[in-house]
Amino acid sequence: MRFAVYGAGAMGCLYGGLLAKSGVDVFLINRWEDHVQALSERGLVIEAVEGTEVIPVQTTTRPEEVGPVDVILFMVKSNDTASAALSAAPLVKAGTCFLTLQNGLGNHEVLADQWGPERILAGTTSFGVSLTGPGRIRLAGRGHTLFGELDGRMTPRLLSLVEIFARAGLAPEASQNVLGLIWDKLLINVGINALTAIADVPNGKLLEVPPLTSLLEAAVQEAEAVAQAAHITISPQPVNRTKAVALSTGKNISSMRQDLRRGRMTEIDVMNGAIVRLGQKYNIPTPVNATLTRLVEALTLISRARQS
């Protein structure tokens, strides 16, 4: 089976690198030229508590250089999903499937509109990883990869992806409730990402500073109420699960904090922003998520103005 990781940022590199190390034919695609150059000249450098390893990888900025593949691991930022769904066209042939492990709401719907729901698998990852420079990532916490078919069937392709991911050490588990998985992860992101970006702290700090802890709790509780109103089956105790992730990825720089620091667009709109919009739809008050959303939007404008 031939794979492409479309959007080989921090998480995409981790998945692509571990798949390559396990012998999978995989291409890492990213539009950042310095990053791709570093990857192709020096390999992917993974720093972890156990030590640093270097994995040789196949990489490019141009999907047309790769050509059609069997599986596209779709890892672009949620803001780029619509444009990337189109630009992935050179990778697609009859039978190609997409697996999105992206954060936030709306990604698998965009892919399904563009390529047909029968091609799409979706899920979440709980690995904690950040990009520390071109071609370099830091693995702050090992996690799991939970994913499934949109219609909940246990298909042969799902089971063979689970096997491939297991050999690569990506701790996979097949799920029959993809929407529940996406919401479980969404609630964690709603509690951690905006707060760590605004306070400019690593994930674990949210548990050490009481006002931040109570904001985390309030943001997740609002999102839980919205999930219930929308009849989404989420796992129990989302506040405790969010705190457990903040602890296990304690030293990690959340993806939103990384984006804000680099003056890039954040995923606030598909996280806390999506909760606010759905709260309006279902008449559930979401004042904490609304404030977090506004603050991240303001800080993004300030950070982008500084970088330009």
Catalytic site positions: 185
Q: Does 293 bind ligand KPL (CB under 6 A)?
A: no
Q: Which residues contact 21 (CB under 8 A, 6 or more apart)?
A: 55, 168
DSSP E strands, 30-74: 44-48, 51-55, 58-60, 71-74
Report in angstroms how near the CB of residue 20 gets to ligand KPL at its nearest.
23
Using an 8 Å Cβ cutoff, are 261 and 221 in contact? no
The distance between the two most distant Cα atoms of the chain, rounded to a whole number of Å, is: 54
Residues in contact with ligand KPL, counted by CB under 6 A, come to a total of 12
Binding residue (CB under 6 A) for ligand KPL from 189, 213, 272, 293: 189
**What is the spatial distance between Cα 195 and Cα 204, in angstroms, rounded to a whole number?**
11
Tell me: does residue 249 bind ligand KPL (CB under 6 A). yes
- Region for residue 2 given its phi and psi (left: phi exceeds 0; alpha: psi -120 to 50; beta: otherwise): beta
- CA atoms within 13 A of residue 228's CA, in its CB half-sphere: 11
Binders in 18-37 for ligand KPL, by CB under 6 A: none
Q: How far apart are CA 133 and CA 116, in angstroms?
A: 36
- One-letter amino acid at 258 equals Q
Q: Is 192 one of the binding residues for ligand KPL (CB under 6 A)? A: yes
Give the x/- contact pattern for ligand KPL in 226-245, rule: CB under 6 A. -------------------x
Q: Which of 114, 203, 213, 300 binds ligand KPL (CB under 6 A)?
A: 203
Interface characters, 136-175, with ligand KPL (x: CB under 6 A):
----------------------------------------
107 is an interface residue for ligand KPL by CB under 6 A: no
Tell the smallest beta-carbon distance from residue 253 to ligand KPL (Å): 7
Query: In this structure, what are the phi and psi dihedrals at residue 95, rounded to the nearest 5 degrees?
Result: 90, -10
Residue 195 in contact with ligand KPL, rule: CB under 6 A: no
- Is the separation of the CB atoms in 136 and 47 below 8 Å? yes
Q: For binding to ligand KPL (CB under 6 A), which residues are involved?
A: 103, 128, 188-189, 192-193, 203, 245, 249, 252, 254-255
